[in-house]
Amino acid sequence: MMRVLRRLLIGKPLHNRELAHEKLPKWKALSIFSSDALSSVAYGPEQIMLALVAVPSLVAYGFMGPVAIGILSLLAIVVLSYVQVAKANPEGGGAYTVAKKNLGKMPALVAAGSVFADYVLTAAVSVSAGTAAIVSAFPALAGREVTIDVLVLFAILMLINLRGVRESSNAFVIPTYAFLFGIIILIVIGIWKSVTAPYLLPPESLARQQLDWAMLFVILRAFANGCSSMTGVEAIADSVPMFRKPEARNAAITTYWMAGILGFMFLGITYLVMHYHILPIAEVTAMSQLAEEIFGRSAAYYYIQITTMLVLYLAGNTAYNGLPVLLSIVAKDGYMPRYLATRGERLTFSNGIILLTVAAALLIIVFQGNTEHLISLYAIGVFISFTIAQSSMVVHWNRERGKGWQVRALLNGIGATTTGLVVLIITITKFLYGAWIILLFIPIMIYIFTAIRGHYNSIADQLHLPEECYEKGAATFPEGKHIVIVPVSTTTRVVYETIKYAKMIGDNILAVHVSNNEETTKKVVEKWKLWDPGIELIVIRSPYRLLMRPLLHFIEKKEREKGPDDYITVIIPEFETRKSWHRILHNQTGWFLRNTLIWRENVIVTTVPYHLKE
Amino acid sequence: MMRVLRRLLIGKPLHNRELAHEKLPKWKALSIFSSDALSSVAYGPEQIMLALVAVPSLVAYGFMGPVAIGILSLLAIVVLSYVQVAKANPEGGGAYTVAKKNLGKMPALVAAGSVFADYVLTAAVSVSAGTAAIVSAFPALAGREVTIDVLVLFAILMLINLRGVRESSNAFVIPTYAFLFGIIILIVIGIWKSVTAPYLLPPESLARQQLDWAMLFVILRAFANGCSSMTGVEAIADSVPMFRKPEARNAAITTYWMAGILGFMFLGITYLVMHYHILPIAEVTAMSQLAEEIFGRSAAYYYIQITTMLVLYLAGNTAYNGLPVLLSIVAKDGYMPRYLATRGERLTFSNGIILLTVAAALLIIVFQGNTEHLISLYAIGVFISFTIAQSSMVVHWNRERGKGWQVRALLNGIGATTTGLVVLIITITKFLYGAWIILLFIPIMIYIFTAIRGHYNSIADQLHLPEECYEKGAATFPEGKHIVIVPVSTTTRVVYETIKYAKMIGDNILAVHVSNNEETTKKVVEKWKLWDPGIELIVIRSPYRLLMRPLLHFIEKKEREKGPDDYITVIIPEFETRKSWHRILHNQTGWFLRNTLIWRENVIVTTVPYHLKE
């Protein structure tokens, strides 16, 4: 049953040789690797607005423009820095790999921890933002957001990724371009209308506020919120080997394209949000308000909402492309459980996929699918990994000292400093809003990473066969005695089978009967004599009617007497009932005995299976 | 930890010779065996009243007297019949034993099923009635009845009975006599007051109603309710061996005494309930209203309530004396799981005690501790077992044909007919009020009884060693080959230990390596050659990266090839991690393999335990 269901949902196992390595043209790569970055315009401008309108009487709303400009400049710096990363790492690999190569173990683990958090949040934020887009269009769905989110995670993203899909599939290309097309039209028409139509009552005065410290704090928090738009920018640089030749150059060009589109859309949406004075409404996104303002509830409005949803779910999927691979790299280095490093039946890293789904679903459930709260956690992890990656590049250029290395080092140095500063800004302005969770999570992950690595190292040492074993060849095994103990309650077919097997595996057999009833014992001893299997039956009296303890005492005594190369095997005569409910009708002494003895180092427990027919 | 707690609560194990057989004087036996019957006056009259006042405008209330008289006559018949049972069964034993001896298997099982229900209900009804008594006195406890009931069951009755107590303990004697004393004083003073005080407005007219069919039905239901007062009457007859010599005579005398006291109290309370026009009040018992009416809220009132509570909890305890013993008898006959038949560490039938506690607690929780609803289920099981016991006696006398057997048979015949009639009345008048539950429960229990017996019989047949084995003596065992399979992932200390053990138990050893990665396999094969343990390493390729399936296929192939007397042993090299959380860091192939192979008849699975030190 389970197997049929599994086949149906996941598909049949794939052969090793089916692991494909495909090369992507730029136009495909753009859509595939940028869905995360580009889709963030669906929530980024809204986040800036939310931070600013939180101030009483909306005094800070007018600062939206400057904040957007600040974020655009930051985007330019980050993109330029990442083009360097792409050029220097044609083999791909994210912040963890780059940091391990250039900065050493600790920064690499910090990067791993923050990227781990980042990917889980990408899945959680994108899926819940996608759901928010569709709920805005169809208010009847309101209140069921968490259910929809969890369904999308488990029934769509997890299953698709467990099956394994070619990243080059058109299913990933079309929604991104459809989304781009819609948003660009929206911006163009929106701006056209804003220019031609009579100007909406402009609360100009609002932006003319005194800039004091409290206001600066609010503006910085708006900036920190807006940084969530920049998550996913690193995706192209991490995937250089997927590009057609010349890989690094094509990746760089694609990155510029992506940054240009992202910048245009971000600026456009922000301008429109300001122009139309979009303010937060429960269960309706800013994008939805904007689209309604510009298109009315027309087909165009629904087009925007549906493509937004699709591209956001697709963005959630990028976490599935990234995290399982990262986990497998970290697991190969011994910092995560080994089974995260092996490909499953369908050549996907199934354990990592399941881990990601469960973690993202938990986040969504805990935060009740509230995009705003999730985004509070989001940017800090991303910018920590940005900072580490850029710093690694500085070390890298300094080490290589190729042509023009100073310029490159300077570029990455500026990138590292800026993103480091952003980490600081986010930490300060968003500490109580969730940043503390990530700042707590990263050290915990580092502790787990090192604990796991320590355990694997210790295991390897303990299991290692000493070198001399290999040197001398023809391994020798010391000779020892073999004592076989068979507990006997009465003479049955099971005991017959057990004694037969015992005679096969050893010469020194002890049949032991624990007596808690004189009469029964007398009968058993008589039967044993009649049957005469050639082994003496040792009787242990148990006046307290216990069965296990006297037997354990007997075995312990034998353990103390045995030599270091002797073995004691206890064979428990047991039968398997045909129906599992039958088992409750029999006492579980055998089961208890096995589970007690299995913890002893010097005793081997086994059972000769005897299956009842009826 | 668990063991210390257990010692503290239950006490240390007891030696077989500590099983005591004490003989009781009549005055002690009366209090010990009658607490169930006598305490039922605390709810019996109230039940009659409840059935009658359910009719609109209280028209039926005046029929309380006639109903009580009917119940008293029934009591007389049942008592006379049970004195016969006591005389004929000096070895004791309840309806089940008597029916098995005289009527055969089916009636005995019906009796066992109904007595089972009866005992569980005795515990549930008595405990919740006891709690109702104390809640009436201390209204602050209202709303916590179910919690109190469950606490009394688990923390008092179960623990005391798991420890094991001498039934002769004065702890059981004092409350019963204290209760008797209090109730008799209550009745005497109440009657005195009723005679001397001015008569309370007598709604005489109420009782002068036309007796139509609907009314008859109500009266019969009141009668059925009142029959709950008669539960526990059989206790003395079931326990004849506990009496001093001449046992049967002393038991008979005690039964008369008990019946006399019960009759007097029942009549007295019923009279007073009628006289003082006691009507149902939520969370206050009729007894409590009565005591308050007669004594006011004086010390005497609290005395009545507290002794009532004590005697009812004690009545609950009689189920603990009865059911585990009954279950042990039924289990010895193979109708219940065998472990119900063996005495635990403290010589008590611990499994039966736990079963009873859980069942009674479930009943109380399902019925929310509502005494009235529980009592609806109560009487029918009791009267079924009465009927079966009396019918058995008719057969018994007819078989024995001793002096005056006709009179005795007639007496029991009248008993059987009357109680059978009562079963009919209860079934009809209380069917929808819960009787159907018991009438469904009994056939289900019979099905379970026979299924268990059938299973045990079939097992015994299958496990039986053929007679000829005993006849010829000096058992012979056919010679066979022994194939030992050791799955090897790489050469480690665990594999070393496993191969060492394998060499000890067999000559035909197959080391098998499943390869899901060419490079690793090459290394393993090289190391194996260097180490050279004298066994060839068989390599199985697994292009689908599965480990279990190729190995299972290999084992299955060996299974098909082997002769009927050959054995295949699979030794799984596995290590035990020192901390249990470490286990999640390792793949569970060994565990899966063991759990898959354990179901195969022809393969023995074992593990040489290797415990990691760190």
**What is the token pair recorded at A45?**
């401008």
Rounded to 5 degrees, what are φ and ψ at B568? -115, 125
The Cβ of residue A543 has, within 10 Å, a number of other Cβ atoms equal to 14
- Our measurement of the distance from residue B436's CA atom to the centroid of its chain's CA atoms, rounded to an integer in Å, reads 20
B545–chain A nearest CA distance, Å: 7
pLDDT digits (tens, 9 = 90+) for B255-284: 999 999 999 999 999 989 888 888 888 888
Of all residues in chain B, the one with the smallest CA distance to A503 is B477
What's residue B257's pLDDT?
93
Residue A57 has pLDDT above 60, yes or no: no
Alpha helices (H) along A89-142: 95-102, 105-137
% of chain B with per-residue pLDDT over 90: 34
Residue B22 has pLDDT above 80, yes or no: no
**What is the token pair recorded at B372?**
């009235």
The reply to whether B581 touches chain A by the CB within 8 Å rule is no
pLDDT digits (tens, 9 = 90+) for A298-332: 999 999 999 999 999 999 988 888 888 889 889 98
Confidence tier at A264 by pLDDT (50, 70, 90): very high
The reply to whether B535 touches chain A by the CB within 8 Å rule is no
What's residue A199's pLDDT?
58
Confidence tier at A510 by pLDDT (50, 70, 90): very high
What's residue A56's pLDDT?
62
Q: Spell out which residues of chain A touch residue B584, defining contact as CB-CB under 8 Å.
A: 337
A162–chain B nearest CA distance, Å: 15
What's residue B261's pLDDT?
94
Burial of B481 (C-beta count, 10 Å sphere; 0-12/13-18/19+): middle
Cα–Cα distance for residue pair A434/A430, rounded to 1 Å: 7
CB B484 within 8 A of CB B509: yes
Contacts of B88 (CB under 8 A, 6+ apart): B393, B396, B397, B400
Higher-confidence position of B478 and B412? B412
Contact A463 B605 (CB under 8 A): no
pLDDT digits (tens, 9 = 90+) for A391-414: 999 999 999 888 888 998 998 999
CATH of B482-611 among 3.40.190, 3.40.50, 1.10.3470, 2.40.160: 3.40.50
Contacts of A438 (CB under 8 A, 6+ apart): A114, A117, A377, A380, A381
A535–chain B nearest CA distance, Å: 10
Of all residues in chain A, the one with the smallest CA distance to B546 is A345
Residues of chain A with CATH 1.20.1740.10: 23-199+208-456
Cα–Cα distance for residue pair A267/A187, rounded to 1 Å: 9
By C-alpha distance, which of A545, A495, A551, A484 is closest to A520?
A: A545
What's residue A1's pLDDT?
61
The reply to whether B460 touches chain A by the CB within 8 Å rule is no
Residues of chain B with CATH 3.40.50: 482-611
Judged by CB atoms within 8 Å, which residues 57-116 of B form the interface with A? Answer: none
Is 0.85 exceeded by the ipTM? no
pLDDT digits (tens, 9 = 90+) for A168-206: 567 778 889 999 999 999 999 999 988 887 655 555 444
Confidence tier at A161 by pLDDT (50, 70, 90): confident
Judged by CB atoms within 8 Å, which residues 374-403 of B form the interface with A? Answer: none
Q: Give, in order, the Cα–Cα distances in Å from A291 to each of A298, A302, A327, A494, B364.
A: 9, 9, 39, 78, 61
Secondary structure in 3-state letters for B379-442:
HHHHHHHHHHHHHHHHHHHHHHCCCCHHHHHHHHHHHHHHHHHHHHHHHHHHHHHCHHHHHHHH
Contact B469 A531 (CB under 8 A): yes
**What is the token pair recorded at A580?**
């599992």
The reply to whether B492 touches chain A by the CB within 8 Å rule is yes
Cα–Cα distance for residue pair A270/B259, rounded to 1 Å: 93
Average pLDDT over residues B607-614: 80
**What is the token pair recorded at B10?**
């239950």
Q: Spell out which residues of chain B touch residue A489, defining contact as CB-CB under 8 Å.
A: none
Q: Spell out which residues of chain B touch residue A492, defining contact as CB-CB under 8 Å.
A: 463-465
Greatest CA separation for chain B: 113
Average pLDDT over residues A514-525: 87
What's residue A65's pLDDT?
84
Q: Spell out which residues of chain B touch residue A503, defining contact as CB-CB under 8 Å.
A: 477
Contact A543 B455 (CB under 8 A): no
**DSSP label at B91?**
T
% of chain B with per-residue pLDDT over 70: 93
Q: Give, in order, the Cα–Cα distances in Å from B556 to each of A498, B62, B263, B482, B512.
A: 22, 82, 75, 15, 14
A610–chain B nearest CA distance, Å: 7
pLDDT digits (tens, 9 = 90+) for B64-102: 888 888 999 999 999 988 888 888 877 776 889 889 989
Higher-confidence position of A278 and A453? A453
pLDDT digits (tens, 9 = 90+) for B280-308: 888 889 999 999 999 999 999 999 999 99
Cα–Cα distance for residue pair A604/B270, rounded to 1 Å: 71
Of all residues in chain B, the one with the smallest CA distance to A602 is B609
Mutate to test the interface with B, among A457, A471, A477 (most CBs of B within 10 A): A477
By C-alpha distance, which of A371, A575, A448 is closest to B585?
A: A448
Cα–Cα distance for residue pair A400/A99, rounded to 1 Å: 15
Q: Spell out which residues of chain B touch residue A585, defining contact as CB-CB under 8 Å.
A: 337-338, 452, 455-456
pLDDT digits (tens, 9 = 90+) for A199-217: 555 554 444 556 677 788 8
pLDDT digits (tens, 9 = 90+) for A335-383: 998 888 877 777 778 889 999 999 999 999 988 888 888 887 888 888 9
What's residue B383's pLDDT?
92
Cα–Cα distance for residue pair A306/A287, rounded to 1 Å: 12
By C-alpha distance, which of B279, B260, B299, B301 is closest to B34?
A: B260
Higher-confidence position of A5 and A523? A523
Q: Spell out which residues of chain A touch residue B543, defining contact as CB-CB under 8 Å.
A: 15-17
B452–chain A nearest CA distance, Å: 8
* A23-199+208-456 belongs to CATH 2.60.40.2130: no
By C-alpha distance, which of B20, B348, B382, B405 is closest to B235?
A: B382
CB A131 within 8 A of CB A149: yes
Highest mean pLDDT among A12-16, A475-479, B76-80: B76-80
Confidence tier at A12 by pLDDT (50, 70, 90): confident
CATH of B23-456 among 1.25.40.80, 2.60.40.2250, 1.20.1740.10, 1.10.630.10: 1.20.1740.10
**What is the token pair recorded at A348?**
């996907």
DSSP B494-546: HHHHHHHHHHHH-SEEEEEEEES-HHHHHHHHHHHHHH--SSPEEEEE-TT--
Residues of chain B with CATH 1.20.1740.10: 23-456
Cα–Cα distance for residue pair B407/B83, rounded to 1 Å: 13
Cα–Cα distance for residue pair B251/B88, rounded to 1 Å: 12
Selecting from B473, B533, B575 the residue whose C-beta is nearest the C-beta of A463 gives B575
By C-alpha distance, which of A52, A417, A420 is closest to A223?
A: A52
User: In degrees, to the nearest 5, what angle opens at C-alpha A281 toward C-alphas A295 and A189?
Assistant: 20
Selecting from B15, B492, B600 the residue whose C-beta is nearest the C-beta of A465 gives B492
Confidence tier at B557 by pLDDT (50, 70, 90): very high
The reply to whether A573 touches chain B by the CB within 8 Å rule is no
Confidence tier at B106 by pLDDT (50, 70, 90): very high
| Per-chain mean pLDDT for chain A | 85
What's residue B205's pLDDT?
45
What's residue A59's pLDDT?
60
Residues in chain A: 614
Q: Spell out which residues of chain B touch residue A612, defining contact as CB-CB under 8 Å.
A: 458-459, 462
Average pLDDT over residues A435-459: 91
Q: Spell out which residues of chain B touch residue A584, defining contact as CB-CB under 8 Å.
A: 337
Q: What is the CA radius of gyration of chain A?
A: 33
What's residue A138's pLDDT?
92
Q: Give, in order, the Cα–Cα distances in Å from B504 to each of A487, B278, B497.
A: 21, 85, 11
Alpha-carbon torsion angle B380, B385, B386, B388, nearest 10: 130
**What is the token pair recorded at B389?**
């016991």
Cα–Cα distance for residue pair B429/B423, rounded to 1 Å: 10
How many interchain CB pairs under 8 A, A with B? 192
Residue B197 has pLDDT above 80, yes or no: no
